[in-house]
Amino acid sequence: MKLAVVILAAGQGKRMKSDLPKVLQPLAGKPLLGHVVSRARSLNPSSMHVVYGHGGDAVRAALANENLQWALQAEQLGTGHAVMQAMPNVADDELVLVLYGDVPLIRADTLRQLIDAAGDKAMSLLTVMLDDPAGYGRIVRDASGAIQKIVEQKDATKAQLEIREGNSGIMAVPAKLLRSWLGQLKNSNAQGEYYLTDVIAMAVKDNVKVTPLIAPTVAEVLGVNDKVQLAELEAKNRAERARELMVAGATLADPARIDIRAEVTLGRDVFIDANVLLEGKVTLGDRVRIGPNTVLRDVIIGADCVIHPNSVLEQSELASGCLIGPYARIRPGSRLGANAHVGNFVELKKTMLGEGSKANHLTYLGDAVIGKGVNIGAGTITCNYDGVNKSTTTIEDGAFIGSGNMLVAPVRIGKNATTGAGSTITKDAPDGQLTLSRGKQMSLEGWQRPEKKPK
């Protein structure tokens, strides 16, 4: 059967105490709903439907590039009512997978098992065993263990409240059957809502097989209702992502102090120290070492690179053997050749630093093309911006840039050229020669330093 995913995302989330809709609250740098959409997308559904309500414009805008079908739930009348809003765009020959926009850690493997357990004339339901099931609908089974119905907490008897198996709300149901059952829902319950969970009893009555699947972990079915729960899920997500990296072969100095918000591609024998943040897409080659308090965002780092502490690298690429930092910043559009060095308090922006070239201290290199074997002296600045235009500084192979240089772009420093310390270079420096530009040094005899008048 073709798969249609319906994600319920209309809740207001009053307990968040935030102007941001609940499903847009960030987890690992991404909206809660974004996590659910990503998981669903990995199942290759034929269609994806999001039922939205509160903060509708903001929700749609945040996921405008996701190719989703949107269904408005203007009034929040329960989960059954929410699914009804999406059903006009779901075909009868599809299997409907119901997900929730505030349940971000559901695993794709769990969902695949749930889908496999359903069929043309069978549905499946994801349940969870809880030490404290307060707030969850209870799974009522008969003596043989078959599911009979789900009872919401406010409607449960004292005996039913003792049941530890809770309802996650996630289910896979043939669309034709679901459409029929939704049409029979009534709101005669403690909350006056149309419960999606009531379709379970309808399935049993119609002799439709209901296959339960107990979630492998509690974390993957937990929802978010307030900032405390959001922080708890953030911690669970960090722990899970850290575990994935270690299983893939990385050594983490402290798994509790790494924040992985990235799609990570990992080489062998990678070492990552404490308080490292990974975002976007990050590729780490063999034997890469990442120092503490480092941020890596959308970077490719070649084999044997060492990133020293407190460095920030984003949207850049490093070839093998590079040494970075401490306290270095590699800004977007930069590329480093093999064995290049970028030292402490050095900033690169949209700069090509060639093989074996070094900028070890207190330097800014922006919009620069730097060849092989170049040495950049401390305190060098490429003056690349005139207030309107950004211009390029070109430094050819083997050049030696003296300390305290101002290189006023556009300018070219020739092959094997040398510039003297303290120079302001405004014209091209020829190959193989020393170029320097300094004002005449003077000492003024008799000059006295101003003194403050006594109070």
Q: Categorise residue 312: left if φ over 0, alpha if ψ from -120 to 50, beta otherwise.
A: beta
CA 331 to chain centre: 19
Output the CA torsion sign for 103, 104, 108, 109.
negative
Strands 276-284 and 295-301: what pairing? parallel
Q: Which helix (H) or strand (E) holds 271?
A: strand 271-272
Cβ-based neighbour number of residue 256 at 10 Å: 10
Burial class (CB in 10 A: 0-12, 13-18, 19+), 226: middle
Output the CA torsion sign for 65, 67, 73, 76.
negative
Q: Which helix (H) or strand (E) holds 36?
A: helix 32-41
- State the first-to-last Cα distance of the chain, in angstroms, to the nearest integer: 91
Residue 361 falls in the annotated catalytic set = yes
Query: Are the C-beta atoms of 57 and 71 separated by less than 8 Å?
Result: no
Which residues participate in catalysis according to the annotation?
361
